[in-house]
Amino acid sequence: MSIKRIGVFTSGGDAPGMNACIRAVVRACIYHEVEIYGIKRGFDGMIKGSINPLESHSVSNIVQRGGTILKSARSMEFMTLEGRKKAYQQLRNFDIDGLVAIGGNGTFTGAKIFEEEFGIPTIGCPGTIDNDLYGTDYTIGYDTAVNTALEAIDKIRDTADSHNRVFFIEVMGRDSGYIAVQSGIGGGAEIVMVPETDTTIDDVISTLEKGKLKHKTSAIIIVAEGDEEGNATEIAMKVKEKISDLDIKVTTLGHIQRGGSPTAKDRILASRTGVAAVEGLLKGMKNVMAGVINDEIVYTSFEETIKNPKPINEDLIRMVNILSV
Ligand code: F6P
């Protein structure tokens, strides 16, 4: 049965480039003569029936904007069968027979269960700043987040150098060190601490002491929020307990990394995966994420995306040590 009306929504943590993706989905639907509806606030809006038709002009002038015009949420109600039943009923009321979900693994898990229970096919677009999705080289929003972090690190480096201080800078990434590693390399960090590898407090101290011997007067340590030693404040306190004469400061970059105008890379990735999601649905695909691997569109099953971790390139971690020698 061919699809006649698609619903698009953004879900989970927002990411710069989500708007460019919504725009691509809408324009691809119009190009292929399929009706397109926007669902507000992810699965929550689906349950409540916050669903409206979108036209070409509805997505004018948003390609460059951060955030998501459709808003986003993490829905507890959709985790229950009762909630999903309500969502299905709403989709039936609006005659929506296919979905494009822009989000991360939580979103895809919900969409997969929903399809198995109610048969509404969904294709996902990888929307998260964390870059932690298997089945795509990069995720929408990641490049912008790295550049935002980098800009902040450059500024902190100026003041760290002026005052001979050690700065612990916390970047986002609950389970993933991608932003930390890339911004650490780009920002010339002495150490990068990520959940994927073990860096102990003693390792930090030894690197700082070696730096002192080499007449380094300041240091930048990037901490991914999910590091096993704790967050940046906790790690800084543990280091201070062992070398009390260090002048240590902590900066948590936080949600600044989730906003802002998307970079060219993110806009292009968002546009490509948005169009691929619509075209995949029209070809009869379901329960897959449209990603880009080696510059080609690749569809990976939700099952694989959810199940498989996306390991960080160990060589990048090794390089941080080489570059900070
Ligand atoms: O998944 C994206 C992300 O920004 C993570 O890096 C971070 O841990 C989390 O979302 C924060 O979520 P919230 O905005 O709900 O606090």
| Domain extents in the chain | 5-141+262-307, 143-259
Q: For residue 261, give Cα distances in angstroms to 32, 62, 64, 70, 196.
A: 28, 10, 6, 16, 29
Q: For residue 318, give Cα distances in angstroms to 101, 204, 312, 314, 323.
A: 36, 15, 11, 6, 9
Residues near 21 by Cβ (< 8 Å), separated by ≥ 6? 10, 102, 125, 127, 140, 270, 271, 273, 274
pLDDT tens track for 59-115: 999 999 999 999 999 999 999 999 999 999 999 999 999 999 999 999 999 999 999
CA-proximal residue: ligand 1, atom 16 (nearest)? 13
CATH class held by domain 143-259 = alpha beta
Tell me the average pLDDT across 272-290. Answer: 98
Give the active site residues.
130
Return the ligand 1 atom nearest residue 257 CA. Answer: 4
Pocket of ligand 1 (CB under 6 A): 13, 128-130, 172-174, 225, 258
pLDDT tens track for 32-57: 999 999 999 999 999 999 999 999 99
5-141+262-307 and 143-259: same fold?
Answer: yes
Helix (H, G, I), strand (E, B) or coil at 282: helix
Calculate the CA 225 to chain-centre distance. 14
Q: Domain 5-141+262-307 is of which CATH architecture?
A: 3-Layer(aba) Sandwich (3.40)
CA nearest neighbour of 176 among 190, 200, 193: 193
Return the ligand 1 atom nearest residue 226 CA. Answer: 8
